[in-house]
Amino acid sequence: MTPGQRRATGVRTLAVLGLAWLAVLVLAPLVGSTAVSPAAAFEPGTTASTIVWQLRLPRVLLALLAGGALAVSGMGFQTLFRNELAEPYTLGIAGGAALGAVLALHLTARSSLDPGLFGFTVVAAASFAGALGATALVVGLALRRRGVETATLLLAGIAVSFSCSALILFIQYLSDSTQTFRMVRWMMGGLAVVGFREVLWVAPWVLAGAGLLLVLRWDLNLLLTGEELAASRGVDLGRLRLLILGASSLMVGALVAVTGPIGFVGLMVPHMLRRWAGSDHLYLTPACLLGGGVFLALCDLVARTVMAPAELPVGVLTALLGGPFFLWLLLSRRSR
């Protein structure tokens, strides 16, 4: 394939994903435990229009943003660590977020009413703080040993993840069964929201993070050829690592705070899209933003209809799909 053809493939993939994104945005709110006709959605004051505008549309938008953010940050981590198995949670951000949330659930459950902080639940605020704290801890640990070395980052991330898991288990052990159920439910991830508050909170982080990675596309492409070569061309590796980490962590941290950890989207989607859009980050970054969103919105559509009127947590569904994909990835890599 010549570079011209690759360019054409990249543009075509983006066009297809863009159309799919719009189609999901328009059609998915009409589908659910009860289908709503477009005409009914625009009749003001009806239950149907309230469901579409206050429940389903924000939920679909949140899924589109969340999936996109997870895929883009997974792409960034995979390129940064030159490792196909890296994902947004590799450096312990999910562990930190979960620890924050679990701690808040444990402490606020007694008063039964969540007082809220700047319009957000205490759980979401604590989770965001936990995510940023875990990232800061990992980067801080890595910085202590001359520069930010990739291997040190990975090891520090794993250590922080395990510590968070252990603390979560400890807090769960101290909690009663109602609290424990809420904690487990939070960690399954979910996109149920009412109104656009969460969407408006997540959107700027996601757009800024994805925009930054798009600006860094030459650096990311250069990383594909190896860190040493990138450094010899004038890339400041330490600064680049911090920028990729910062962009990904803020995006994912802001997101996980309101949706809980949704697994495997960040691992799966960049891989699928590399095959279609190629590895040039000029196309891959927007492709991940669009494709990840479409993937998660469709997963969520299945999750809220397959057992209707009950809902399957979307995190369960993505992980159910993710496990076999992971195995397939391992096996197909072996045979190549």
Partner 1 sequence: MTARPAPGADGPQGTDAHATRGPRDLLSARGISWRPAERTVVGPLDLAVQRGEALAVVGPNGAGKTSLLRLLTGLLTPDTGTLAFDGLAFDRFGRKELARQIAYVPQLRPIRVPLAVEEVVLLGRYPHLRPLQVAPAAGDFAAVDEALRVVGIGHLRGRPVDELSGGERQAVYIAAALAQEAEVLVLDEPTTHLDPRHQRDIAALIPRLRAEVGRTVVFASHDLNFASMTASRIVALRDGRILGSGTPPELLTPETLSELFEAPFEVVRDGEHPVILLRMGPDLESTPAPTPPGTPPEDRTP
Q: Which residues bind to partner 1, rule: CB under 8 A? A: 1-3, 5-6, 82, 215, 218, 221-222, 224-226, 228-229, 231-236, 274, 278-280
CB of 224 to partner 1, least distance (A): 6
CB of 16 to partner 1, least distance (A): 21
CB of 11 to partner 1, least distance (A): 13
Cα 253 off chain centre by: 9
Q: 12 vs 233, which CB is nearer to partner 1?
A: 233
How buried is residue 309: exposed, middle or buried, by Cβ count under 10 Å (0-12/13-18/19+)? exposed
Question: Is residue 123 within a helix (H) or strand (E), and if so which, with residue range?
Answer: helix 122-144
CB of 230 to partner 1, least distance (A): 8
- Tell me, what DSSP letter sits at residue 29? G
Place of tokens 């910062």: 246
State how far the alpha carbon of 125 is from the alpha carbons of 99, 129, 232, in Å. 12, 6, 42
Place of tokens 């600064």: 239
Q: 82 vs 197, which CB is nearer to partner 1?
A: 82
The residues, ordered by sequence, that sit 6+ positions from 307 with a Cβ below 8 Å of its Cβ are: none
What tokens were used for 46? 């009806």
Q: 110 vs 144, which CB is nearer to partner 1?
A: 144
Angle between helices 57-80 and 3-27 (to 10 degrees): 150
CB of 293 to partner 1, least distance (A): 23
Q: 65 vs 247, which CB is nearer to partner 1?
A: 247
CB of 274 to partner 1, least distance (A): 7
Q: 118 vs 228, which CB is nearer to partner 1?
A: 228
CA gap 90, 138 in Å, rounded? 11
CA gap 26, 234 in Å, rounded? 45
The residues, ordered by sequence, that sit 6+ positions from 14 with a Cβ below 8 Å of its Cβ are: 277, 283, 286, 287, 290
CB of 238 to partner 1, least distance (A): 11
Q: 165 vs 221, which CB is nearer to partner 1?
A: 221
Of 160, 167, 166, 168, the C-alpha closest to 132 is 160
Q: 54 vs 279, which CB is nearer to partner 1?
A: 279
Q: Do 253 and 135 meet the contact criterion of CB atoms below 8 Å apart?
A: yes
